[in-house]
Amino acid sequence: MDHPGGARAVARCDALGVSPYSDAPDMLFRAWMTPAFGATQGRVAEWMAEAGMTVRIDGATNLIGRYDATTPDAPALLIGSHIDSVRDAGRYDGPLGVMLGIECVAALHRSGRRMPFAIEVIAFGDEEGSRFPSAMLTSRALVGDVTAEALAVRDANGVSAAEALAAFSAGDVYTARRDPGSVFAYLEAHIEQGPALDIEGLAVGIVTGIASQLRYRVVIEGMAGHAGTTSMALRRDALAAAAEIVLAVEQAGQNGPADLVATVGRMIVAPNATNVIPGRVGFSIDIRALDGAVRDEAARAIRDAIGRIGAARGMGVTIERTNDLPASLCDPVLVEAMAEAARAEGQPDRRLASGAGHDAMILARLCPTAMLFIACAGGISHNRAEQVAVGDVEIALRVMLRFIEALGFIETPEHRGIGAASDA
């Protein structure tokens, strides 16, 4: 099972890290439905076709390559991840999972093999939420969780998601919804985005579940004024209030178990001038924990602190929840199949939970899910310093191919789709 595709997967991620596949000239930034996003879809579509797949784009802008089964209309195994990025991103968060899916199909196609189930490699467009104040809209479309309200969100230029979809000629977003009977499992390979595998010297790890998360958008309204003529006693400084709230968010995260994290990651200050007291500040809050009750208690403490600080400082406060994702457990049968595939490749059975959100947590509403983590240097992610070792990616590809091979032999009542495929 000597497959050079792991090295090619890394090289392709590198190729997508520069213009015209980035919206910024000096960094990687690929937002949903931008020129760079469209260019990336076009290139990835070419690679899908070269691997032997038929290619289409659904109404939610998801790029899908299909490799048919040995029998018509067999349910599909979805393999995928996302191709959008955060600002000043690394090259492997998301695209590596798509490239590995393509390499799995390419390996089967080279050997002239078809599985008893179809394989669909899917490149989601909006996992990061970098353009609109909501995330995973494109995977949510597959499970029928896109509403008119969700599409009304606007980007920094005032363009709504619905307007952007129309301009992108995406078609009807609601047609992207998948019939549960058409899909029997979802597999996502992803860099770990944490240091555990790298510290332990391991190439891959089997994901057991994904932490729940809440996101809020907060606006603090004070009063702008001259920085030189307004005395300290008379100020209503929105940034000073926001700074106090940021410390309260940090404290709430520190007050819980080790897997509880709370982050203010984005802040916009207005009028943002050297000699003007800030009158308005908007910022994000991201709260995550494996236990949803722990997450919710931290969120309550943070909301209470915002209200208390805002009142004490005479601020207007708006808190809007923009994302609410429950914890998502990977399917136990598929976890065991992935562990067996790893052991067959000489890898330890290392299992770990994901603190980061992934499209897999959405797809769990549609079908059983599995995830494979790949070590990244120092655990660095969402950063241009993000790195993977080609040898580790090669191992991940071999594990994925063994996992795919094993799927035809899994037959349990709760995995009727897989069992049906094996009988085909």
Q: How far apart are CA 346 and CA 394, in angstroms?
A: 13
Is residue 358 marked as binding? Answer: no
For helices 95-110 and 5-15, the axis angle rounded to 10 degrees is 140
For helices 292-312 and 238-254, the axis angle rounded to 10 degrees is 150
Could you tell me the two tokens for 270? Answer: 């207005």
Is residue 82 marked as binding? Answer: yes
Residues 6+ apart with CB under 8 A from 275: 226, 227, 228
The DSSP string of 372-397 is EEE--GGG--SSTT----HHHHHHHH
Is residue 128 marked as binding? Answer: yes
Is residue 109 marked as binding? Answer: no
Is residue 275 marked as binding? Answer: yes
- Cα 340–Cα 343–Cα 347 angle in degrees, nearest 5: 140
Q: How far apart are CA 364 and CA 374, in angstroms?
A: 21
Is residue 215 marked as binding? Answer: yes
Are the C-beta atoms of residues 110 and 5 closer than 8 Å to each other? no
Is residue 46 marked as binding? Answer: no
Residue in this structure with the two tokens 């899910």, named with its chain if needed: 369
Known binding-site residue numbers for Zn(2+): 82, 93, 128, 190, 382
Per the annotation, binding residues for allantoate are: 215, 275, 288
Binding positions are 82, 93, 128, 190, 215, 275, 288, 382
